[in-house]
Amino acid sequence: MNMAPRQTSALAITSLVSGLLGWTFLPLVGSLVAIVTGHMARAEIRRANGQVDGDGLAIAGLVLGWLVVAISVLTVLVFVVFLGGLAALLAVLGISGQL
> Quick one: pLDDT band at residue 58, thresholds 50, 70, 90?
very high
The number of domains in the chain is 1
Over residues 4-25, the pLDDT tens digits come to: 788 999 999 999 999 999 999 9
Partnered with residue 23 across adjacent β-strands are: none
- The residues, ordered by sequence, that sit 6+ positions from 37 with a Cβ below 8 Å of its Cβ are 11, 12, 14, 15, 18, 58, 61
Distance, CA of 66 to CA of 74 (rounded, Å): 12
Task: Confirm whether 91 is domain-assigned.
Answer: no
Over residues 61-89, the pLDDT tens digits come to: 999 999 999 999 999 999 888 888 887 87
Task: Confirm whether 85 is domain-assigned.
Answer: no
Mean pLDDT for 31-52 is: 95
Task: Confirm whether 95 is domain-assigned.
Answer: no
Cβ(44)–Cβ(9) below 8 Å: yes
Q: 86 to each of 5, 25, 69, 73, 74, how far by Cα in Å?
A: 61, 32, 26, 20, 18
Task: Confirm whether 34 is domain-assigned.
Answer: yes
Task: Confirm whether 90 is domain-assigned.
Answer: no
Task: Confirm whether 54 is domain-assigned.
Answer: yes
